[in-house]
Amino acid sequence: MLFWSGAVVVGLTATAFTLSSNYAQMLFHSMVTAYPWLPLLVTPLTLAGVAALTQRYFKGAEGSGIPQTIAAIRMPEGSDRDAVLSLRVAIGKMFLTCISLLGGASVGREGPTVQVGAALLYNLRWLVRFPRHLMERGLIVAGGGAGVAAAFNTPLAGIVFAIEEMARSFEERTSGTLITAVIIAGLAAVYVQGNYTYFGVTNATLAGTSGWFGVLLCGLAGGLLGGGFSRLLLAFSTHGLPGRPGVFVRTHPVKFAALCGLALALIGIASGNAAYGSGYAEAKHLLTGTETVSAGYGIWKMLATFVSFVSGIPGGLFAPSLSAGAGVGQIVASLLNQTNPGALIVIGMAAYFSGVVQAPMTAFVIVMEMTGNHDMMVPLMLAALLATAVSRIVCPRPLYKALASNYLARARSSA
């Protein structure tokens, strides 16, 4: 009963996080609509303030949250793991991500929800003694998977993500725990928000030979762009900038975050105010065709997400990557003169996301569930697998695993 209650708390917390982050984005977009140039002041100050709070009070809350959760699974039981999955870090993660979105950062809440969900279930161990195999990794994996399920209303994707990206195996002793947590957390989120599809339902299908050629193009483009994005991100995270710029980043992280905020504001203005935030609204506009989105949106979104991530603030890559992928699909559809670009936009989302995280099963399952389009399963699988193969040529180290290794190395060197 305690474990079930914990899973319910994960679902309700993810829902509260969703509503808060959506409200923060709404406030920012209202401000930009009224004062288009105000981000030049607000965004640098916000990113600097968030970076300062993270450095001072919430060490371990920076970045996506998924690498920290994977690192926690690899850590021996003790103070290091407790620090990464503390309730203080979980609260800071949610609060600072919302503040970042309020300032226009191109981040998502889904990666942070993984760390928050893992922290909530992991801290149940203070209330009751669980079996050792659950204490070692089961609660962390289950909490992370439950976080994905509740954040997107994608229970199957939550299970697949936990197996493919976090656990890398399906252990008989913990499988029941994982599935139970995902289902209960998902039900709790649905109870509050209703049963919905993240991007709405789309019935778009591929049209003829050109449509399947578009799948191949999306797979290649998603793998090249996603792999390039991950390689640049890992290069910055591992080695930093060379020379004096690198020294400046290490010694003045708050000032560097402010500069990133200024760059982000300039990117946002150049993109017609489309590159800010998680990108949920822009991706939905592309899928439904309800509003016009600029042809270069995907590239602007990639740049905005890169700048936001390297600034050191909390925030995830899931939603921005899916949104950028929708922009990739838009470009491919325009090259092939598709009268109904919706199908290739869906394919582009899965392809670019696969290129970034190199988790093809999670990519096609999560996009399929988020759009309610099960007829696209085969082309989604093909694009995701092709993008992953191409991405591994460009970036041999999977992003989240490599970031987790970097995080472990820093934790050991500071111990």
pLDDT digits (tens, 9 = 90+) for 157-178: 777 777 776 665 445 455 566 6
What's the pTM? 0.89
Write a three-state SS string for the chain: CHHHHHHHHHHHHHHHHHHHHHHHHHHHHHHHHHCCCCHHHHHHHHHHHHHHHHHHHCCCCCECCHHHHHHHHHCCCCHHHHHHCCHHHHHHHHHHHHHHHHCCCCCECHHHHHHHHHHHHHHHHHCCCCCHHHHHHHHHHHHHHHHHHHHHCCHHHHHHHHHHHHHCCCCHHHHHHHHHHHHHHHHHHHHHHCCCCCCCCCCCCCCHHHHHHHHHHHHHHHHHHHHHHHHHHHHHHHHCCCHHHHHHHHHCHHHHHHHHHHHHHHHHHHCCCCCCCCCHHHHHHHHHCCCCCCCCHHHHHHHHHHHHHHCCCECECHHHHHHHHHHHHHHHHHHCCCCCCHHHHHHHHHHHHHHHHCCHHHHHHHHHHHHCCHHHHHHHHHHHHHHHHHHHHHCCCCHHHHHHHHHHHHHHHHC
Q: Give percent of the chain above pLDDT 70.
A: 86
Confidence band (pLDDT; 50, 70, 90) for 225?
A: very high
Q: Which residue has the higher pLDDT, 363 or 166?
A: 363
pLDDT digits (tens, 9 = 90+) for 249-274: 888 999 999 999 999 999 999 998 99
Q: Which of 164-168, 184-188, 283-287, 338-342 is least confident?
A: 164-168
Return the pLDDT at 361: 86
pLDDT digits (tens, 9 = 90+) for 68-101: 888 888 887 777 888 888 999 999 999 999 999 9
pLDDT digits (tens, 9 = 90+) for 299-333: 999 999 999 999 999 998 988 999 999 999 999 98
Return the pLDDT at 243: 81
| Region 215-228 average pLDDT | 95
Q: Which residue has the higher pLDDT, 155 or 310?
A: 310
Q: Would you kindly state where each structural domain of the chain is located, as residue ranges? A: 2-193, 208-411
Reply yes or no on whether the pLDDT at 239 is more than 70. Answer: yes
pLDDT digits (tens, 9 = 90+) for 331-348: 998 888 766 788 888 899
Return the pLDDT at 170: 47
CATH architecture of structural domain 2-193: Orthogonal Bundle (1.10)
| Region 190-198 average pLDDT | 62
